[in-house]
Structures are given as C-alpha cells and as structure tokens.
Structure 1
Amino acid sequence: MRRHHRTTPRVTRLLGSLLLLAAGTFTLGAAPAEHPSAGQRDAAPLGGIVPAPASVEPGGAPYRITRDTAVRVDDNREVRRVGAYLAGILRPSTGYRLPLTTHGHGGIRLRLGKGPFGAEGYRLHSGADGVTLTARTPAGLFHGVQTLRQLLPAAVERDSVQPGPWQVAGGTVQDAPRYPYRGAMLDVSRHFFTVRQVERYIDELALYKINELHLHLSDDQGWRIAIDSWPRLATYGGSTQVGGGPGGHYTKADYREIVRYAASRYLEVVPEIDMPGHTNAALASYAELNCNGTAPPLYTGTDVGFSSLCAPKPVTYDFADDVIRELAALTPGRYLHIGGDEAHSTSHADYVTFMDRVQPIVARYGKTVVGWHQLTGATPAKGALAQYWGLDDTDPAEKAQVVKAAQHGTGLVLSPADRLYLDMKYTEDTPLGQDWAGLVEVRRAYDWDPGHYLQGAPDSAIRGVEAPLWTETIRTSADIDFMAFPRLPGAAELGWSPAAGHDWDAYKVRLAAQAPRWDALGIGYYRSPQVPWPAG
C-alpha cells in the first residue's frame, strides 16, 4: 500500500517584480548604519552548506556586502533574471540598492563560462574584492545563488531591514550534482492546494537545489486539471476531497502559471495522471469509462485499490489520448507520469494491455513515460523511468522485477516509502501523517545510499531520488512545512552531494544550522530530538 504553525513566509516575488528589479527601478529607504556591535555576525563557514558541495576550499579574506555593492551580470536575459532574483532576496533585509549592471568590477558577479560544471554545477569564489559565481548554464548560476544565500546570515531571508553586517567567507566552492533527477512530489488530489501554495513550496524546494516538481493531479478523491475534451473531470470530479471538502481544480491558465513559476526557479514540472487505478474521480465523472456503464459516487475516503478504468473498452484509450494530449501541450518538461500503482481491481492481463497501449500515446505527444515501479510488471517503454516506492523489506521478487527492468534500460527514481515518504509520521506522537510504511525520523530519511539501495541495479540506471508528500492528512501550507522539514533537505542532499561525504554526524550539525533560516522564512518544522538545534 502506497499511501497508507507557523508564520507566513515572505511574499513571493513574481516575474513582473523581477523585471522591475532588473531594470534598476527598485528603490528603498535609507540603508541602515553598519554597527558591528549592534548585530555582529560572523561569516558562515563554506563547509556548512546543505546539500553539501562537491568541493570546498576555505581561505582568504571574506567579502562584505555594503551599500556600494552591485550585482554584475552577463548581458544575457536568463543571467539577468537570476541576478534580479538574487537582488530581490538581498534588498529587503540589507536595505541596500544593489543595482544590476553589466559593467564594473567587484561586488557580486554572475557569469557564464567554461568549466567542469555540467548542466547544473557552478563555482563560487569569495574574496575581499567580491563574490564570483561561474556556471555553464543559468541553472547552475541559480543553484550557486542558493549556496550564496546559505553563506550569509539567516536574517538575509527576512523582508525587513536587518542590522548586518553581511559577510561571505573567503574561499572557493566547486559543485555539481550527483544525480540529474532530484524531485519532490505534492499530492494535490487528496487535498487541493492553490497556485499560491504550490508556488510557496516551489520556493522551498529551490533553496535546496531540487529540480523536479511531481504534481499528483488525479486520484480517487479529486481530479485537479481542466481537460477541455472531458470538462466534467474537473468541474465534477474535482469538486471534493478527502473528508468531503470543496476540492478545486487548476484551470489551464493556473497550470501554466505553476509551470512558469517553477521554470523561473529551474524546476521542471512532472504532471501525473494516475491510471488505470486511482481513477474514481474520472469514473464518477463519465459513466462510459466504467465497464458496467454506471458511474460510481464521488469518493472522500482514503482506501485504495478499488477503482479501475475499463481496459477492454475503446473509449478508455480515447480518454487517455485526449488527457495526455492536452496535458502534454501544457507541459514543456520532458516527463509525463502515468501512475500505474495499486491497480488491484485490474487483472494482470488488462494491466499489461493498458500499459502497452497508453505508453505509446505519451511518446506520440513528445514526452517520456514515468510510472510507479509496478510499471515493470508490464513492459516499460524505451527510455521510461520507474519510480520505486517499496520498503527496505519489500518482497525480494518484486525488487528483482524492478532490478531486471533496470538492467534492460529502464531508469529508476528512488522513493522508498520508509525513507522518503514525507507523509510518514516521525514518531507515534506526530499529529499528522500515516505510519503504514513505518515511522520515519530524520536520520532514517537521510542515512541510506541511493547508489546501493537496489542490489543489482546498474549505477547508470539510478537517475535520482524523489520525496513524495501524500496529503490524506495534510490540509495547509503549515502542514506541508511540518512534514517536509527537516526531512526534505536530507532528500535533496542524497540527490545532489557526493556519496563519499555522506555522514549523519556531520550532516545533522549542518542541518541544525538551517533552523534560523527557516525561522526567517516562516517555515515551521519538526524539532527532532536527533538534531542538535540551536538554543532559543
């Protein structure tokens, strides 16, 4: 079985604001006087970053951001956007103007250049004259900005002027991710979350260099995306949620805004339409999708495995084609997730037939198939990704099926439920979440190696990790924060950082140092007794 208070964060800055910043039209009142005795802060150590960088060489004088600092960028639209994003973070707390410019020397420099960075890596060099971020791509610069944020005092995240000073330790960070796929999933079907709430979570994911946002858009309890050719999916199938609340759905404009916002934070949206099971909202909306031609009632409970599209009916594949076509047209990313788990009401033969017919539809519309690991019980399409959600003690035969598919070219994204499911309770006393996969404290979530988790799976098959958050008990952004933090940064580190540096005792110290930043951002979190949190 798969699925079974906090202050308000800084108001999100949308693209229009970023463009104003880039144009240099943003001004503040007088900057605060810099009196070290009225708020002296030492530079954060280069080695304190989460996720841990690939290489750190501390040394030399720190750089101090002052009212004379400028953010210097290449004359490139994307680089200017990253620079504007950085300035938008720094201006409210420092009180400095921090103009964007393509000229001059010193200050904070963002530049594209050659180097061993890959598609997402970067180099950060800090010295007395300034901070220089170099990357091959704007995505690398953006990830470097997240590192720079953590090298500044946590108060830099606040939306009002703070005393400073604002120092960045001297030295060099050279960094690139271990895995290309570093994801988090948000279930918006069990409980619906607004565009604003999803964008808030995107900002939290970006801070830790997550690059894939998996949106679980359909399930038994609700259908959350407008499909023009089947309008009742959203208007009727999306009209409820767990417990019988009002539900909701995204218009196509809403979904485009989520995709756009995610792209501005260098996250790719992976939409999921779960099929052939987990489909009661669709079955209730259109009677013809049922084998008996009768629509069931809408469902607001949490049981699983009872629903199924009718694999023998031709209309099922018309439905799948229409939904995939419309969703693919809205999604610029590479992937489209077709679910495939817990299809207990679908015979094995029908399941194989369904997957054999639906996977080519995904390819027809230019996307790569992603499915839960039960997809390996059929024949995964060439290039498909299987998302493994089993447990440490899952049946060896089931694991062997997944490993065999990996040996034949299927890529794997690892989401073991008793490690990375963010909806699992921390302890028996956790007020939210479930415990069917076990209790998942912070150390358990972090202390495992994706590269050696499924014995026999080739290294080349492991594409990365993903931390899903199912929402049977999750209703608010505060609930999301409490279950995601502090476990989400550990999932991000598993996906980003070199395996050689994986060490719980060192990590828990770096994790504890994140707490003041979460406080500044208004992120409520679980104060695990396994982590040496700062006092106060």
Structure 2
Amino acid sequence: MASPRSILLLLAVVPLATAYFRLPSPWGWKCNRENGRCEKFDDDGVSGHITLNHCKLTCGQYGVIWPQPKLVTLGNEVNYFLPTNVSNKITCQGEVCSLLQEGIGLFKGNLNRYHPECTNGSASFKGPWEKDVKEHQILLDIRVTGGETSLGFDTDESYTLTVTTLEGTTTALITAVSFFGARHGLETLTQLVEYDELRDSLQIVNSASVNDAPAFKYRGILLDTSRNFFSIKSIERTLDAMAANKLNTFHWHITDSHSYPLYLDSLPKMAWWGAYTARQVYTPADVRAIVHYGRVRGIRVLPEFDAPAHVGNGWQWAEKAGLGKLAVCVNREPWQSYCVEPPCGQFNLANPKLYDVLDIMYQEWIDIFSPIDSFHYGGDEVNLNCWNTTDEVTQWMDAEGFGRDADAYYKQWSVFQEKSRQLVTKANGGKEVPGIIWTSHLTEAGHVDKYLDPAKYIIQIWTKGDDPLIGELLQKGYRVIFSNYDAWYLDCGFGAWVGEGNNWCSPYKGWQTVYDNSPTNISRTLTANNNYGNQILGGEAALWSEQADEESLDARLWPRGSALAERLWTNPTTNWEPAEFRLIHQRQRLVNRGIQADRIQPQWCHQNDGLCYL
C-alpha cells in the first residue's frame, strides 16, 4: 500500500498559484558510512531516507564542521527545535561574562539566519509540525575559567563541546580557558544546526563530542582600505565571515601613498589632505567600534602603518604648516622611476620634524586601536632612487658622512625603523609589543639580523613559497607569518590595472591552491628538518585593493578565505579533495549569514556528493 506521503506527492499535480509550495521533496538521502557521502535517492517514503541537511549534519567524520576540528564524534540523529527555545547559563568572571553574553546574542542571531525567510536577523518558524517541535529545549552551558578579554599570541583558544539530549532538552556544554575558546565552541555549535524544510524548524545533532584547538596562533585576513575605500558595514561583514571560519586577525592596511582615510583628532589635516572625499574617512569612534566588534567575534584588529615607503597623499599639509616636507616624491612622475606603482611617496628621513609628527600620530593610533598585542610597521618596497634624487635627502646623507650607496640608505632606513619602534613603545605606555615587518631589502639574505632584532620583530613573508630566505629567517631565530603571494594573494588573476594583459601576480589563486599551501611543508623543505614549528606563527591571505572595493569584496575573500582558515586551524595532512563537500556547505552557510561568497559549483553538486569530479 502506498504511504500517505507518496499519495500526497501523486495528488500534487495541479499548478500552485503561490510563489512557493510546502510539499515533501520527492528526494531523500542516506549517508554512505564507508565514504562519508550523502547519496540521493527517489524517496518512496518507507526506506528510511532523511533530508539533505540531516544527512549533511551527521554524515562523515566531521559532518559539515568548518574548519575541521581535532577530535569529533557525531551522533546519527537530530532533534527539532525553535530558536525561541534556546536558553543559557554561564560560569565566568568579570568582563568575560559581558563578552559571553554578546557572543550568545550573535549565536542566536545566526540561528535565525538559517531560516530562508529571515529578515534583519529574525524569522518566524511556523508549520504543521510546530506543535511537535516547540517544546524541545536547547540549553547552552558555557564555562570559562580564565579572565582574558583581549587576544594575544599566547591566548589559549582551545575548547571542548559536548552535546547530549535527555527528556526533551538538548544541552550543549562548552568549556574553555578563555572567552576566545568559548566563542569558537559556540561557532562549532552553530555548525551542528541546520534548517529543516519539511518541519520549518531547526534541527540539531542529538549528540556530539568535540575537542578542538588551532594549529597556528595567527590566522589572518589583510584588507587594504587605502587604494579603495571600504565602508564600516563592509568591514563588519568581513569580520562576521572571519568569525564563521575561526580566523582571528584582521590586518587593517588602513593607509598608503594613495590615501590617508583615518581622521585623527590630534592631526586632522592628515585626513583633510589624504581622504578621497569628506565622507570616505574612518573616525576614532569608527575604529574603536571595529576593535570591539572584532573582539566579540574572537578577532584582533592589527593596525598597519606602512612606512617609510607607501606614504604620500595626506602628508602635503606639513610643508604648508612650515614643517618642511615630511614625505618626498609624492605623486612624482614618471612614477616607474620612484616607486612600484602610482602614486609615489616616501618619508623624508632628512627632516627631524618627521619624528615629532610620528610621535603624535602613534599616540592616537595606539589609543584608538587599544589594546594591541602587536603592531605592523609595513616596511616594504622602498625605492632608493627616490631618496637618491631628492636634494634634501642627498645633501643630508653627504653632510652627515653616511655615503650614498645602497647599504648607506638601508642603514638610515633601519635607524628610522628603530625610532618608530621606540615611538610605538612610548605610545603604548612603555610596554613593548612585537613589531611585524614585510620581507624587504632589510630582510634580504645574508644581512637581515644586521638590521632587525629577532627578539623584537616578526617577519611577514610575501615572497614566493620556495624562497630560500624563508629557511634563513627561521634558522636565524625569526618568528614568521606566511603570506606568500604565489598562493595567498587574493587580488591575483585579474586584468592589469596599468597597461594591458594580466596583473603582476597572475594567475588566479583557486581555493584548492589556498588550501594546499602549507607553511609547515614549506619550512620543512627549506630547512631540511622540523625544528622551527614554534617560530611559524601562522599565515594570512591578503586582499590588496587596486582592483577591489566593497562591491567585489565578499566574492574575492570567500570562500577562499575559508580554505585558508582550515589550513591554519587544522593544518591538515591531506590535500584539498577530502574537504570539498564541507567547503561547499560552508559557502552556503556564509551566504545564509549575508556574505556574498563566490559560487564554487552548481547546487546539484551540493546535493550529489562526489559526482562533480575530474
């Protein structure tokens, strides 16, 4: 005899006038436990098939958790519930409690966004099964033992998550040393939940055990807001997506030679001269809000003031104010002779008043980005010809007897860097924090330790992943962050923006390339041993914005940023292939949260695991 479900399907032959219909799908899924794939079948109503989302949650070793956790056990069944039935109790101390309450609010908001008709973070869950699911309760029991409220390189981000169901209540117990670990636990818990279309409710895995911690301390995204301006809303959206992937560092390349969009109360003319328009500025209140927005999502906001190159527009005010030129070669032509891309500009190391202004600037930077655990000094792509063709600089070099060969200029550059470090330390109340520097002429093979103290500086590697310098940096004791452009520059693979053809770092870096770029494997290859793991802090994908603004932001970053996240959180020993099904689902999850992540495959592939292969 046909089931009531199949009879309902047979009768559904009259076209519906409504914009959508609520009927059981003719398809069902089963988990193939041998390969961890959800397989699609014609559902006869009696064969025990389940919905696609039920299958995704419970099939395979990791379900659809992203990034892949260290240890996890998942149950095969789900419980149905309404998000209004989520309650919580927390065990914590001081400010951690307020951060947790904000984090729980974000968790509940994300649950609502799983509903297809979610509007402004809320949705109405109604349907014929409402009475069957509305009584089921979800209890969050979160216990944090430590009092840390800002992220540092030594912060313990581990957590454990245990999900159990008993007598109509599913309890999620999260334990962590820090708020940041507990926040990651909440993120994982959201990934044990999905929408159930049949019941118009949510479903949660009925039992689970997760023991998790990141492989690397530093897991970052760089956004350049100087070449093109990005609104606060777009930055917040980026932080939301980072939180969904357990990335923990938003590297804000906020200024460059193109513009200085940061308004400073102490130096208002910087933005007056340096912003593209009066509306395209970040106020101190904006920055403080972004710092807090990130902290609640487990993210440090790392400020970068790139110098002594990559400065220009915004600094013109000084000469008009009687301070002389603080920057030289600003907008100088032909640009190819004085910088790597237009417009040019470098600090005037011959003008001692530069340090007076930097003293004021750093004081406000450190204040609005506080608390900081590191500071990025930039420090790349200095053009010696700019200095060596500027009369004021060359006369100073001659008068001081410094000479004018490359080493003489590098020496003065290193003096500038040391003075900058001292000013940042002073601005930070005398507390020194690690400085981060891009690979540059100062870090070249054979003499990096002549200019930069490995106890005070971290080197961010943007050269190719086979650069022998990487091995030398590790052997000389430097801590490093990987951003090698042959895998982790997300602006690559588009048309040239000066001239024609493709841009300089083409080809495009697909998510597979991003995923397979292993700092551990690179260091092992270049050092012939495995003794330097503690010096590899992690890595970062960079979105330089010559050819991107907030209209293209999401698609450039995601889901490739998700691939980066699993590499840095899990450091998997496999290549990208076993992760593909989960990444496709993670992309869908990001879209549900309002992130316009790029499509990877047709939706058919998401519904038919393993059939879109080469």
TM-score range, shorter chain: 0.7 to 0.9
Aligned: 1:372 with 2:444: no
Q: Which residue of 2 aligns with 1:311?
A: 349
SS at 2:63's partner residue?
helix
Aligned: 1:463 with 2:537: yes
Query: Structure 1 stretch 487-496 or stretch 35-44: which is displaced more?
Result: 35-44
Deviation for aligned residue 1:504: 1.2
Aligned partners of 1:462, 1:150: CA distance in 2, in Å?
A: 29
Contact 1:339–1:370, Cα closer than 8 Å, also in 2:
yes
Contact 2:312–2:327, Cα closer than 8 Å, also in 1:
no
Q: Which residue of 2 aligns with 1:512?
A: 584
Task: Provide structure 1 residue ranges, at least 5 long, that are not aligned to the other structure.
Answer: 1-33, 98-104, 241-245
Give RMSD over aligned pairs: 3.7
Aligned partners of 1:67, 1:482: CA distance in 2, in Å?
A: 30
Contact 2:81–2:201, Cα closer than 8 Å, also in 1:
no
Q: Which residue of 2 aligns with 1:360?
A: 422
Deviation for aligned residue 1:35: 9.8
Q: Which amino acid aligns with 2:356?
A: D
Alignment of 1:1-400 (within 5 A): 41-42=53-54, 44-45=57-58, 46-59=62-75, 61-66=77-82, 69-74=85-90, 76-91=97-112, 93=115, 95=124, 107-112=138-143, 119-129=156-166, 130=170, 131-153=172-194, 163-168=200-205, 170-239=207-276, 248-287=280-319, 288=323, 290=325, 303=341, 306-331=344-369, 332-345=371-384, 347-364=409-426, 365=428, 366=431, 367-374=433-440, 376=443, 377=448, 378-380=451-453, 382-394=455-467, 396=468, 399=469
Q: Which amino acid aligns with 2:480?
A: L
Q: Which amino acid aligns with 2:536?
A: I
- Cα distance change on mapping 1:527 and 1:87 into 2, 3 Å: closer
Cα-to-partner distance string for 1:17-40 (whole Å, 9 max, x where unaligned): xxxxxxxxxxxxxxxxx9987995
Task: Provide structure 2 residue ranges, at least 5 long, that are not aligned to the other structure.
Answer: 1-21, 27-49, 92-96, 116-122, 127-135, 147-153, 388-408, 609-614
- Cα distance change on mapping 1:289 and 1:380 into 2, 3 Å: farther
Contact 1:275–1:339, Cα closer than 8 Å, also in 2:
yes
Query: Which structure has more RCO (C-alpha within 8 Å, separation ≥ 6)?
Result: 1
- Cα distance change on mapping 1:228 and 1:327 into 2, 3 Å: same
SS at 1:387's partner residue?
strand
Q: Which amino acid aligns with 2:358?
A: A
Q: Which amino acid aligns with 1:534?
A: H
Q: Which residue of 1 aligns with 2:47?
A: none
Cα-to-partner distance string for 1:372-417 (whole Å, 9 max, x where unaligned): 12253431463322111111354x3xx1xx5444434432111111
Aligned partners of 1:195, 1:203: CA distance in 2, in Å?
A: 12
Contact 2:220–2:248, Cα closer than 8 Å, also in 1:
yes
Deviation for aligned residue 1:465: 0.8
Aligned partners of 1:532, 1:458: CA distance in 2, in Å?
A: 44
Q: Which residue of 2 aligns with 1:12?
A: none
SS at 1:50's partner residue?
coil
Contact 1:71–1:83, Cα closer than 8 Å, also in 2:
no
Deviation for aligned residue 1:118: 7.1
Aligned partners of 1:47, 1:58: CA distance in 2, in Å?
A: 8
SS at 1:223's partner residue?
coil
Aligned partners of 2:333, 2:292: CA distance in 1, in Å?
A: 32
Contact 1:390–1:417, Cα closer than 8 Å, also in 2:
yes
Cα-to-partner distance string for 1:467-520 (whole Å, 9 max, x where unaligned): 1111111122x40111112210011111111443x3311012211122322332
SS at 2:606's partner residue?
coil
TM score, norm. by length of structure 1: 0.79
Deviation for aligned residue 1:59: 3.4
Contact 2:195–2:202, Cα closer than 8 Å, also in 1:
no
Aligned partners of 1:292, 1:256: CA distance in 2, in Å?
A: 28
Aligned partners of 2:330, 2:83: CA distance in 1, in Å?
A: 65
Aligned partners of 2:578, 2:110: CA distance in 1, in Å?
A: 28
469, 473, 481: which one aligns with 1:413: 481
If you compute each CA radius of gyration, which structure gives the higher value, 1 or 2?
A: 2
- Cα distance change on mapping 1:314 and 1:427 into 2, 3 Å: closer
Contact 2:466–2:522, Cα closer than 8 Å, also in 1:
no
Aligned partners of 1:62, 1:285: CA distance in 2, in Å?
A: 64
Contact 1:305–1:344, Cα closer than 8 Å, also in 2:
no
Q: Which amino acid aligns with 1:461?
A: Q
Q: Which amino acid aligns with 2:425?
A: A
TM score, norm. by length of structure 2: 0.70
Deviation for aligned residue 1:302: 8.2
Contact 2:454–2:479, Cα closer than 8 Å, also in 1:
no
- Cα distance change on mapping 1:531 and 1:55 into 2, 3 Å: farther
Aligned partners of 1:230, 1:109: CA distance in 2, in Å?
A: 47
